[in-house]
Structure 1
């Protein structure tokens, strides 16, 4: 009977440590890199300045770690006249800077 409890506690311990490791790894993957955020803003500043007259860049950066968008980091800009918000990002497939906009009602364009 002692052998059963010994191996049972070892198995439970291994499961708890393994699950803790998975939770830790998941939390680390969900956090953005501050250097990459600064790089996204730095890339977007001249792009917004030369292409959009009424837009201003915000300090907000979107981190897409789940693959929902064609970027991992994107700076956010807002058109002051229309209120349209848009992402400015380096496209992962082409490497060129691109934009993706949405209106205040939440619809992507």
Structure 2
């Protein structure tokens, strides 16, 4: 074999060596990505044992604190860290259809529920629905929420005989989602809405936030609002 033949063979060996190394590195990377995907999928799936555990805990909690009008209908697994718990029992008041959560609170080291906060939110939504739909349009969506979802326990309210939010100095947030761009008359409507809440004795204090989002989820304008 001549000089050039040996050189070509040597070059081919080097090329094969680098090709093998490259393929090996790519294989390791792909394997790592695969493991990450599998881990992510597994973490997104709830643990059956943990679901059964929270159901048992919630059942005992309901027997101690509530009556037969309440039923567990599902569980919630917070795999994104949005709440202060990992697993919660989803409970329904069969009398008024209020849906709420029962879960173990790591801060207080005891079972808690969101019944009063969710019931009060439902009650206020019923009060303000005609005004919002009548002034912003039937397709307008809105939600009421209390920043403290354990407000019932902190105020010592009996869930079997819940009192009205109007009896307490509370300040919930009302978020209104309008499916269009902002208009010049929106601030006037908001001021009228706040006057309506206060004059009709529906809510003394709170916050109203308005956001503008198209049906496809695109944000149309900056959100804004007022406290009162």
Which runs of 5 or more structure 1 residues have no equivalent in the other structure?
A: none
1:3 to 12, 17, 22: 17
Q: Given the alignment of the two structures, is residue 84 of structure 1 paired with residue 98 of structure 2, yes or no? A: yes
Structure 2 Cα separation of the partners of residues 50 and 17 of structure 1: 51
Q: Post-superposition shift, 1:107? A: 4.8
Q: Post-superposition shift, 1:9? A: 0.8
Structure 2 Cα separation of the partners of residues 57 and 6 of structure 1: 58
Specify the structure having the higher radius of gyration (Cα).
2
Structure 2 Cα separation of the partners of residues 62 and 21 of structure 1: 26
Structure 1 match to 2:26: 12
Structure 1 Cα separation of the partners of residues 18 and 75 of structure 2: 53
Structure 1 Cα separation of the partners of residues 144 and 50 of structure 2: 27
Q: Given the alignment of the two structures, is residue 27 of structure 1 paired with residue 67 of structure 2, yes or no? A: no
Q: Post-superposition shift, 1:13? A: 0.6
Structure 1 Cα separation of the partners of residues 35 and 145 of structure 2: 37
Equivalent pairs counted in the alignment come to 108
- TM score, norm. by length of structure 2: 0.43
Deviation string 1:4-39 (CA, Å, 9 cap, x unpaired) is: 311211111111111111111112212222111111
Which runs of 5 or more structure 2 residues have no equivalent in the other structure?
A: 1-14, 123-141, 147-228
Structure 2 match to 1:67: 81
- TM score, norm. by length of structure 1: 0.84
Structure 2 Cα separation of the partners of residues 77 and 106 of structure 1: 19
Q: Post-superposition shift, 1:98? A: 0.7
Task: For 1:38-77, list aligned pairs within 5 A.
Answer: 38-53=52-67, 54-58=69-73, 60-77=74-91
Structure 2 Cα separation of the partners of residues 106 and 57 of structure 1: 23
**Closer/same/farther in 2, CA of residues 89 and 26 from structure 1, 3 Å limit:** same
